[in-house]
Amino acid sequence: MQKIVIDPLTRIEGHLKVEVTVDGGEVKEARCSGTLFRGWEIILKGRHPLDAQRITQRVCGVCPTAHAMASTLALDDAFGIADQIPTNGRLLRNLILGCNFIQSHVLHFYHLAALDFVDVTAVADYEGENDDLQAVKSFIARGALGPFVPRYEGDYRFSPEMNRKLTAHYVQALRARRLAHEMLCIFGGKMPHSAAIMPGGNSEVPTVDKISSFLGRLNEVQRFIDNVYLPDILEVAKAYPDHAGIGGGCNRYLAYGSFDLQGENVDPVTRDRLLPQGLLTAEGELEPLDASQITESVASSWFRSASNLHPAEGETEPDPQKDGGYSWLKSPRYDGKATEVGPLARTMVAYRRGAEPLKSIVDSVLGELGAGPEALSSALGRHAARAIETKIAADAMTDWLLALKPGEPVCADWTVPGEAEGMGLTAAPRGALGHWVVIKDGVIGRYQLVVPTTWNACPRDEDGQPGPMEQALEGTTVRDTENPFEVVRIVRSFDPCLACAVHVVDGRGNGLRRFRIA
């Protein structure tokens, strides 16, 4: 047997250690470890409830908007105003969150994951006039290889011409992300950590000028998605067809849904959403979402808290010396089972429900690849689902934008209750995101976040059940243990964000404890 340890795994957000045991070229056991503790739930205790949607955005600079949404939905619920959000407020929230989805998904594919497939060094001898390629060539010539190395060697399958084309798209993707940030700032104030999403709706008001400015940028981003992003995903799929057969994982998919649609139903788990909610079991059965089935185990986590608590009763008590612990991530379970979340999970749930236009786009992509829906349950399928979801969100944003009505209300009135509880369920780019708040004596008495990477990269529970990412790795064939492409490609297909997942910083900036991670 041979042990492969990748610590840290690069080109992700946060600190992740991946350890796999390989025997005869096959991964027999995998362990994923979050190696940084932050303690956001501790920071929030005793704060004013309106601080929540501001502070929780600081969890992550890549997807802060999703935390603003989850926190605000929890406060809507606690304040009793979930059924009073004006149409403009709902639409503005969707537009702001959609911008964050676009930039995050484009970031993940081009600037984090694609470098596992694209040989950027192919531009070193480029002699053409493409400004994007000349910029990368100049960058490499100066020895500034930071974004492109370290990397493994060997399994790069594109021709030099295709490598150059995809490298040029790497630069174009930077522009697309910038446009998405600019769009978000029009209605969100700034990025990262937007200022506009708040209980009752949104604080920014739509005007004709803002709508026009947003639409011009959105049209350009849509052209990038349709003409660059989706075609590039197909190119990767055609060059790496074997990756449609690895990294499947637990094959249980959970979606909270996202992007609220018009309707009277404001229940946190059943409301109408563009991306629908639900659970798709390993047996292929579609079940309605039941938030009471969510628990968190700490059997293999560095916490002394009680295990298998519902998040509304969750505790955050660190224990870095705990026997058997190997991660700062807790282990979320749905009905006691490990369950994958993320773009693939949302796509699988929506496809099984027959949700349009997603189902038609998925069928079109699968048709071009000559593959069936089963190919989605893979490392490659996660990338395809992410790109398809980006198109779905961007196209819907045009309708939401044009439905805005300047001069009409954007936010409902509210008061902060002395005692209340609230739950906010939404989708972050990386998966199902839930915030639970308990207000006591007018301040936050308890706050818990269960974030996407906690679901996906979690450690084993009391029953020895591996987390979804660990299950996706186990059974994988590693052709070259010195260059374990399969391992890093599977892990990065989840787009892990440990910044969100490992929730110590003192609110006054003081260090609490120092740990040495060997």
How many whole angstroms separate alpha carbon 369 and alpha carbon 373? 11
Whether 195 has a pLDDT exceeding 80, the answer reads yes
The packing angle between helices 379-403 and 485-493, to 10°, is 30
133 HSE (CA, 13 A, CB side): 21
| Torsion angles phi and psi, residue 497, rounded to 5 | -130, 95
pLDDT tens, 250-284? Answer: 999 999 999 999 888 889 899 999 999 999 999 99
Tell me the CA distances in angstroms from 364 to 337, 388, 469, one per residue in order.
Answer: 32, 11, 28
Tokens linked to 4:
């492969």
- Residue 308 is classified by DSSP as S
Quickly tell me which residue has 């979320």 as its tokens.
332
Q: What share of the chain in percent tops pLDDT 90?
A: 79
Whether 144 has a pLDDT exceeding 70, the answer reads no
H/E element, 33: strand 26-34
Residues in CB range of 196: below 8 A, 6 or more apart: 92, 96, 187, 188, 189, 202, 203, 204
Sign of the torsion angle spanned by Cα atoms 374, 375, 379, 383: negative
Return the pLDDT at 146. Answer: 65
Return the pLDDT at 167. Answer: 93
pLDDT mean across residues, the chain: 92
How many whole angstroms separate alpha carbon 211 and alpha carbon 178? 18
Tokens linked to 328:
């700062």
Return the pLDDT at 512. Answer: 35
How many whole angstroms separate alpha carbon 288 and alpha carbon 268? 12
Q: What is the pTM of this model?
A: 0.93
Tell me the CA distances in angstroms from 376 to 124, 147, 351, one per residue in order.
Answer: 35, 29, 11
pLDDT tens, 337-376? Answer: 999 999 999 999 999 999 999 999 999 999 999 999 999 9
Return the pLDDT at 514. Answer: 38
Tell me the CA distances in angstroms from 361 to 226, 243, 366, 378, 392, one per residue in order.
Answer: 12, 20, 9, 18, 9
How many whole angstroms separate alpha carbon 169 and alpha carbon 29? 37
pLDDT tens, 382-437? Answer: 999 999 999 999 999 999 999 999 999 999 999 999 999 999 999 999 999 999 99
pLDDT tens, 25-54? Answer: 999 999 999 887 767 788 899 999 999 999
* Contact between 327 and 353 (Cβ < 8 Å): no
How many whole angstroms separate alpha carbon 252 and alpha carbon 160? 39
Return the pLDDT at 15. Answer: 84
Residues in CB range of 7: below 8 A, 6 or more apart: 17, 18, 19, 35
**N-term to C-term CA, the chain:** 22
Quickly tell me which residue has 């787009």 as its tokens.
495
Q: Convert 488-516 into a string of H (helix), E (strand) and C (coil).
A: HHHHHHCCCEHHHHCCCECCCCCECCCCC
How many whole angstroms separate alpha carbon 141 and alpha carbon 291? 53
SS3 percent helix, strand, coil of the chain, rounded to 5, is 45, 15, 40
Tell me the pairing of strands 294-297 and 286-287.
Answer: unpaired
How many whole angstroms separate alpha carbon 242 and alpha carbon 226? 25
pLDDT tens, 314-334? Answer: 888 899 999 999 999 999 999
How many whole angstroms separate alpha carbon 54 and alpha carbon 151? 36
Q: What share of the chain in percent tops pLDDT 70?
A: 95
Return the pLDDT at 145. Answer: 66
Query: What is the residue type of 131?
Result: D
Tell me the CA distances in angstroms from 226 to 105, 343, 345, one per residue in order.
Answer: 14, 18, 22
H/E element, 487: helix 485-493
3 HSE (CA, 13 A, CB side): 6
Return the pLDDT at 417. Answer: 96
- Domain annotation for the chain: domains and CATH numbers: 2-501 (1.10.645.10)
How many whole angstroms separate alpha carbon 59 and alpha carbon 74? 17
Return the pLDDT at 500. Answer: 65
H/E element, 435: strand 431-440
Whether 158 has a pLDDT exceeding 80, the answer reads yes
Q: Convert 226-257 into a string of H (helix), E (strand) and C (coil).
A: HHHHHHHHHHHHHHCHHHHCCCCCCCCEEECC
For residues 360, 365, 369 and 372, what is the CA-based torsion angle, rounded to 10 degrees? -40
Mapping DSSP to helix (H, G, I), strand (E, B) and coil, where does residue 77 land?
Answer: helix
Whether 141 has a pLDDT exceeding 60, the answer reads yes
